[in-house]
Amino acid sequence: MPSLQSLQQRLTALEAQIAGLKQEGDYLIGVRLERSAAGGTASQSAKQDLKYARLRAGRGKLLPNGKKSMYVPVRDIARYDAACRRGAQTGLTQRQT
């Protein structure tokens, strides 16, 4: 059985890890980034690429705009993807505390 001191040290380390993740930039918890191909009358090559993305909220959650999904501009996909990854890592670390 771990001692109280070792548990406190682990808790302090996890809290420092969470603070480090939050300082890296924006983070989104409970959100995923879905990629999709072009639709409609787009060319076949455009339909093969997963160029477009949509941000989706998890069950029972809403995005800041009050909706369950939001279009992500092509130029912002990398930023939102990184924020989703930081949020997932932050959520995992918070559950460990």
Instruction: Kindly state the DSSP code that residue 76 receives in the 8-state scheme.
Output: G
Task: Express each pLDDT in 39-85 by its tens digit.
Answer: 778 777 777 777 788 999 988 888 888 999 999 988 999 999 999 88
Overall domain count for the chain = 1
Task: Express each pLDDT in 4-31 by its tens digit.
Answer: 887 788 888 888 887 877 778 788 888 8
> Which structural domain, as residue segments, surrounds residue 26?
4-96
Burial of 28 (0-12, 13-18, 19+ CB in 10 A): buried
